[in-house]
Structure 1
Amino acid sequence: MRRLLVRLLHLDLVRSAKAVQHLTTFVVTAVSTILVTRLFLALSGYPRIGGDTGLHVAHVLPGGLLMLVAMWLQFSYIGPGPRAAAALVGGAGFGLFIDEVGKFVTSDNDYFFEPSAAIMYVVFTGFVVGARSLRRRRPLTDAEHVAGAAHVLVDGLAGRLSEHRRQEVLRTLDAVGEREGVGELRSLLERVETRTPGVPQRLEGVWQAVADLFARVSSSRFALPAMGVLLLAQTAGAAVVVLGAWHSRTPHGIPVAGVLLGATLSLVFTVVGSWQGARRGRRAAVESFQRSVLTSLLLTQVFLFAVSQFAATAGLLVDLVLLGLVNADLARTRRVPR
């Protein structure tokens, strides 16, 4: 029975080497869109688009349109070019869509339904954890790396390949070694003419420039202790904000519980990371710091927004910087054996 189910559900799809980058762009954009949207609505007094006409254009509608645009980009164009733009546009659209989940799970269309933050948290956490678990359990095979290079060649044959991307793919083929199709792909990639990157390639270029900056900063000998201090300060700040609000009896129990749970988990991951760094090396510390940042981003800040929009927005910015630093450090340390 199990073999039959595996055979029926086997989609036979080739995975992308850029999947983690695009999925991260999608999730970070979606979470950022939620927090920025709620901050704007709070500052503007929650205006109704449509005024006093009896109509209200909920922002779930432009969210759906942005997701439609992301799908249109994927369906209409071949090659890896549109994926960066689709991840960005689709993430913004999904953020606008799921921000109004409270209206669709309550009979009175309550946008401020408290468990909405928990629903959003479960969705994003499941998405991120599931994607990362699948990639760690099943790394890309050499055949998939070769197929990915052939996919990039599509842009080259159409005259839309940047020199940076070509060199990146050639390095991937060097790592694969001798395999069927590698020689032919290398020959074609070396012969195609490159051009100035277009908008989708420039989006990836921006990502690369930011990644290079984080890589330089994270390589400093002061980076690891600085990350630990920032994580502790971030955790303490969230706890102070929510406890102060609880003392003034402003929020209800669910947001407070969510923030305290997230802050506690982040604190545990940070302390464990510092301890592991002293015993097992930098890589173990960075991996634990990464769990701390993701917990803060996907749990603490989502619930904190119900308590203080400004604190959650500031926390988001700090989390994004920390996420960039730990990911850059982790990418470098993973290239070095334990």
Structure 2
Amino acid sequence: MTTTATAARPRRARRRLRLADGVWRLRMMTLAGIATVLITRAYLAATGYPRIGGGGIHIGHVVWGGLLMIAALTVALVWAGDRARVWTALLGGVGIGLFVDEVGKYLTTTNDYFYRPAAAIIYLVFAALLVLAALLGRDTAASGAGDASGAAGASGASERLAGAAQIAANGLVSGLTPDERDHATRLLDGCADQDRDAVLRLLAQAQHRDPGRLTRAVERVRGWTEWIAGLRWTETVVFVLLILSRVIVAIIFIAQAAGGEPHSTDAGAITASAFTRGASAVLTIAAVVMRIRGRRLTAYRLAKAAILLDLIVTEVFNFHDSQFGAVAELPHLVLAFVFISIWQRQVEAQTSPAS
């Protein structure tokens, strides 16, 4: 009978609790890694690729990358608090950047630092990390906005409670900024009274902390971006530049692929780019048509799909063919993606049932 009762008992689902600021720290680590690769490549090119060591010994910067990743793990395992997580993200990001920058040496028997696919591999690593951060951030937001009824609601409430408790515990070590305190308080909405009161007491014990320089800089940039996005002609300028750049570049690559571009270092990359850039151009044209017809949300989704296709797929081929010169194409794509994301969120907020 005991065995039967035990077998009939519902199996408890296992949940992996995420840190409240984990997605932001993942983005910070990735951006630190990207900056490290670009700075390292620029420095080595400017100094003629010096060798550190003598005789048959060469201390590559992958060694320093490994040491920095060890340092990041040490900080994460030993210390608690906001400052420790910042150092973990920065040290880990720089270490990953130094490590992955020498990927060409790991994949070739000749230890070729200039192995052509290396640039594409490096780009793909960091693009994958940013995509992962975006997916985790969207998943976290969706779980936090769930209905407070039923099993799903109970699960969401427990996760929000745990997130608020994490922020409160972190505040006991590092203090809390007003935004962090408000965020933790909002997470407690819908939680059981006794649980909410317990976490609120912890929040009350946390000392006040002014936002750091990095946080203030990020908030300032975010404010400027939203202000520019709200200007009258910004949307028109973004869509015009987006369609001109996507369509013109697609035509150029299709012509190169069809004519067998003699100056191309990799015809396969040119051909693949022609297909993906052509698809991106079609999506962009469709987005403009939808925007003219007044279907703003559909237009923004199509435009984001076109940009994501370029960022996730096309740029891999671009880095393989053009090496790190492909970086020049990224800023306007990223800016267009940011602006369109802002407008999409505004439209979704206006059309949501709760509004």
TM-score tier by shorter-chain length is 0.7 to 0.9
Distance 1:301 1:241 in 2: 13
Q: TM-score, normalised by structure 2?
A: 0.73
Matched, 1:78 2:92: no
Change (3 A) 1:159 1:264: same
The equivalent of 1:146 in structure 2 is 161
Distance 1:53 1:243 in 2: 50
The equivalent of 1:3 in structure 2 is none
Deviations 1:125-146 (A, max 9, x none): 5444455446556733232222
Distance 2:276 2:60 in 1: 30
Distance 1:269 1:97 in 2: 37
Q: For structure 1, which runs of at least 5 residues remain unmatched after alignment?
A: 1-6
Change (3 A) 1:79 1:273: farther
Q: CA deviation at 1:274?
A: 2.9
Change (3 A) 1:164 1:131: closer
Change (3 A) 1:264 1:91: farther
2:216 to 199, 205, 208: 205
Change (3 A) 1:115 1:313: closer
Distance 1:44 1:303 in 2: 28
Deviations 1:40-99 (A, max 9, x none): 444444x13326643323232222233233323322222454334433442332233223
Matched, 1:101 2:122: no
Change (3 A) 1:238 1:279: closer
Q: How does 1:1-338 map to 2 (within 5 A)?
A: 12-45=15-48, 47-50=49-52, 53-130=55-132, 132-133=134-135, 136=138, 139-140=142-143, 141-158=156-173, 160-174=175-189, 176=190, 180-190=194-204, 192-197=206-211, 201-235=212-246, 247=261, 249=263, 251-257=265-271, 259-261=273-275, 263-278=277-292, 281-305=295-319, 307-308=321-322, 311-338=325-352
Distance 2:236 2:321 in 1: 30
The equivalent of 1:4 in structure 2 is none
**Percent of residue pairs bearing the same amino acid type:** 30
Cα contact 2:291–2:299 (8 A) shared by 1 = yes
Deviations 1:158-214 (A, max 9, x none): 35222232233334435x4665522332344245330234xxx43333323222222
Q: CA deviation at 1:256?
A: 3.1
Q: CA deviation at 1:147?
A: 1.2
Q: TM-score, normalised by structure 1?
A: 0.76
Counting matched residue pairs gives 326
Cα contact 1:17–1:145 (8 A) shared by 2 = no
Structure with the bigger RCO (C-alpha within 8 Å, sep 6+) is 1
Cα contact 2:254–2:275 (8 A) shared by 1 = no
Distance 1:103 1:66 in 2: 19
Q: CA deviation at 1:14?
A: 0.9
Q: CA RMSD in A?
A: 3.8
Secondary structure, in 3 states, of the residue corresponding to 1:103? helix
Distance 1:13 1:162 in 2: 26
Deviates more, 1:224-233 or 1:132-141: 132-141
| Greater gyration radius | 2
Distance 1:89 1:230 in 2: 37
Q: CA deviation at 1:217?
A: 1.9
Deviations 1:242-265 (A, max 9, x none): 988x84625223443454455345
Secondary structure, in 3 states, of the residue corresponding to 2:63? helix
Secondary structure, in 3 states, of the residue corresponding to 2:113? coil
Q: CA deviation at 1:223?
A: 3.0
Cα contact 1:235–1:266 (8 A) shared by 2 = yes
Aligned partner letter, 1:59: H
Distance 1:38 1:59 in 2: 11
Q: For structure 2, which runs of at least 5 residues remain unmatched after alignment?
A: 1-10, 144-155
Change (3 A) 1:115 1:289: same
Change (3 A) 1:44 1:103: same
Change (3 A) 1:114 1:26: same
